[in-house]
Amino acid sequence: MAIAAAALAVIPSAQSPAAQPPASVEASSSRFPPGPGRDALFKVCSNCHGPESVLGQLKTHDEWSKTLDEMANNGAQGSDEEWSQILAYLDKNYSLIFINKASAKDLESMLDVAPGVAEAIVRRRSEKGKLASIDDLKQVPGVAAAAIDARKERFIF
């Protein structure tokens, strides 16, 4: 057990020390859902104010896109791939979801569902009209109730 703990403790310092985020950033990483783009967010967004600036903010896809443009103007630096990963990560975790307006493609990334499920939501809208509530949404075949509950403060009906 002691050996395992020691080995774990060594892992971070085995990486390049210069690439280590500040301790406060490391401590807060658990507040960010894991997934593609999180590393890029930590890398590109930690220099000036820390990635925490993103927490507690919900924006539309276009607003996030605009924020990222502003941060690039402020001097944030990342590769094209990192920028698109960050935008996708923000869309997935910190975007407002206009459930009655979003395209199937946007629903797919914002709800993290399979293409068929996103299409089923769009079909449900066109067949029966606007979704009025979270309960309506949960009744669409293939939609996982837990995934909806996890995002419930993000829906705009």
Axis-axis angle for helices 61-74, 80-94 (nearest 10): 140
> Residue 156 forms beta bridges with which residues?
98
53 is an interface residue for ligand HEC by CB under 6 A: yes
Q: Which stretch binds ligand HEC (CB under 6 A): 30-38, 66-74, 112-120, 125-133?
A: 66-74
Among 32, 37, 42, 44, binds ligand HEC (CB under 6 A): 44
Query: How far apart, in Å, are the Cα atoms of 130 and each of 33, 70, 119, 137?
Result: 30, 34, 15, 10
Measured CA to CA, the distance from residue 34 to residue 2 in angstroms comes to 28
Among 45, 97, 113, 117, binds ligand HEC (CB under 6 A): 45
29 is an interface residue for ligand HEC by CB under 6 A: no
Q: Which two tokens stand for residue 144?
A: 């996982």
- Binding stretches for ligand HEC (CB under 6 A): 44-45, 47-49, 53-54, 57, 67-68, 70-71, 74-76, 86
